[in-house]
Structure 1
């Protein structure tokens, strides 16, 4: 039994010292590093994009909605008062 353990330990140590295994481990470690950096930079980009959207686009959307409501209200008042509506030039 002791001979079997020594053979297994010798084979496993020689396999783990092989250049192919070393390259595989290095490639896996490099891939993990790149994926981690990519996820961090993607998260930062998503944060920047969402913040810019909230600061710039949301107020614009709100203002456009207010303008549309004001136009509808003026059109409704004009139709109730019987004044002719002015259409946009063609």
Structure 2
């Protein structure tokens, strides 16, 4: 994000070193401020994660991710970001 504008962030939920995608995004937000649209992918089907992602406004795709679903979500997020800047 330091190199230039970012259209969106696609984050996995399970990351290395005990950090999860939500925590990483919170750290990024604290460091840079407002984030572009975010979507998360995960193999975790827990209702806790679904509620957490929903509360933060992060769409959640479950693995295995269907390419068409990913493409549709990313397109919608980029369009939404473009409309927000208008």
| TM-score normalised to structure 2 length | 0.24
The structure with the greater share of residues assigned to strand is 2
Q: Which has the larger radius of gyration?
A: 1
- Higher normalized contact order (CA 8 Å, seq sep 6+, divided by chain length): 2
